[in-house]
Structure 1
Amino acid sequence: MMAKVKFISFVPWVTIGSVIGSLFIVPMMPKIVDALYYKNKYNNEAVNFYKTYMDKCYTIKVTMPPEESQLYLNNIDDAKYPLSEVFDTTYNSSNFFYNPSADYTSFYCKEYKKYMNIIAFKDVNGSYVEKELYLTVNRDDMNNPAYGTKDNPVPVLKAVGVSEPIWFSGKDTDSVFMDNFYRNNVINYLKYKMP
């Protein structure tokens, strides 16, 4: 009996605990946090009902303000109205650059007397400034008095130039590309952004 007690006192319990922690528990932390927090953080069912949202959309024609105009919300307050946002989808910091992001162009639309926000989940690499655009908006959003304010602008998930391309590459003149872009934009908006 005494020999067992002496043997147990020589076992390096702290070392064994450190090995177990560093080999098993620490590597599992991102998976545990993802399962508990990120699993239901966003609307993972968006892909099932994006068509319903798109069926209620229609196109309007607007003229965008000049670049330095106070009609762009970012020109009024850069901190409150950022030009982009990143959506954290995992605790794992090595996946940071794979997180989805959205670019925003929030502005006051004189034609409809509402604030609107052009949202793109893919880099448009172009310019809306002082151009005539066709904007695709949702009928429910346009008719809802909760939308169209500075704090809750009407989301615009597709914008194309009326007489000239918005994208420097001219991709917005390709209808097949724009249909895919719009579909993916709607799904990502419903998943990450829609309240």
Structure 2
Amino acid sequence: IFIITRFTLGGNKDAIPYADTYIKNSDTIVVKIPKDRHKIKKDDDIFTTSGWFMGVAQTRSAIYNMYYFYSPEHKKYLGVVTFKGSYNIIQRGSGEKIWYDDIETLRLDYLYEIKSFSAYVNRQQWQDPTYGTKENPVPIFFKRALSWPESLGGMEAWETIKPSVNKKFVELYLAHELSSKEFNRLYGKDMERLGLKD
């Protein structure tokens, strides 16, 4: 696994400066996990990113996952957004035997085990009537687990997403998973107001 020293996003680069505003205009909601794990569905996408890894320019693949399900409490389909590709890593081992694990490779397994969690949701998408259906779930970003069984001891790294990781996930989502047309529909006017658009 490469340690990222400098990173360049591809995709809709014009959307990346909006990440801070997207996060600022988000609320925290409490989400209950369906007891029947078969009700959690998965959507994924693979894309290429480029950047400097250990001083060498490289490209690599990243995997977008959305784990979505119907929330009776919120009366909407919600989709947990995550990215595999060493954006949220944990150091393992000690001494000369140190390695890094990508926490997000087990995010779905973790969701299967916990009962509820808090998540960030952008107000614009939450209030937009085109979001919340099975075909177009409201994207939410995992914040922290709220209840889990004792059997999950040792999985503390999965309990909370750091703000820096959340920002990277938002940047990746805006650049790669939200189409340019949809981004402009939702946030184009705000981008102009903020002077982030040419």
TM class by smaller structure: 0.5 to 0.7
Paired residues for 1:7-22 under 5 Å:
none
**Which residue of the partner structure matches residue 11 of structure 2?**
42
Relative to structure 1, the CA distance from residue 167 to residue 128 in structure 2 (aligned partners, 3 Å threshold; closer, same or farther) is: farther
SS of 2:133's equivalent? coil
**Which residue of the partner structure matches residue 148 of structure 1?**
132
**Which residue of the partner structure matches residue 98 of structure 2?**
none
Count of residue correspondences: 141
Match of 1:163 among 133, 147, 164: 147
Match of 1:121 among 71, 79, 83: 83
- The separation in 1 between residues aligned to 2:176 and 2:69, in whole angstroms, is 21
Deviations along 1:76-128, whole A, 9 cap, x unmatched? xxxxx53x3211458xxxxx981221122111111101011101113522411
Alpha-carbon deviation of 1:63? Answer: 1.1
Asked if residue 104 in structure 1 is aligned to residue 66 in structure 2, the reply is: yes
Greater gyration radius: 1
Query: Which structure carries more strand by proportion?
Result: 2
**Which residue of the partner structure matches residue 52 of structure 1?**
21
- The runs of 5 or more residues in structure 1 that have no matched partner are 1-40, 75-80, 91-95
Calculate percent identity across the aligned residue pairs: 26
Query: In angstroms, what is the RMSD of aligned CA positions?
Result: 3.0
- The separation in 2 between residues aligned to 1:154 and 1:168, in whole angstroms, is 31
Paired residues for 1:16-31 under 5 Å:
none
SS of 2:13's equivalent? coil
What is the TM-score normalised by the length of structure 1? 0.62
SS of 1:140's equivalent? helix
Amino acid across the alignment from 2:35: P
- The runs of 5 or more residues in structure 2 that have no matched partner are 1-9, 51-57, 85-102, 180-198
Match of 1:178 among 162, 184, 188: 162
Query: Which structure's relative contact order is higher, taking Cα pairs within 8 Å and 6+ residues apart?
Result: 2
- The separation in 2 between residues aligned to 1:188 and 1:145, in whole angstroms, is 24
Checking the alignment, whether the CA contact within 8 Å between 1:61 and 1:133 is kept in structure 2 is yes
Checking the alignment, whether the CA contact within 8 Å between 2:31 and 2:116 is kept in structure 1 is yes
Query: Which structure carries more helix by proportion?
Result: 1
Deviating runs (4+, > 2 A) in structure 1? 66-69, 163-169
Alpha-carbon deviation of 1:45? Answer: 2.5
- The separation in 2 between residues aligned to 1:49 and 1:183, in whole angstroms, is 11
SS of 1:141's equivalent? helix
Alpha-carbon deviation of 1:138? Answer: 0.7
Relative to structure 1, the CA distance from residue 89 to residue 181 in structure 2 (aligned partners, 3 Å threshold; closer, same or farther) is: closer
SS of 2:162's equivalent? helix
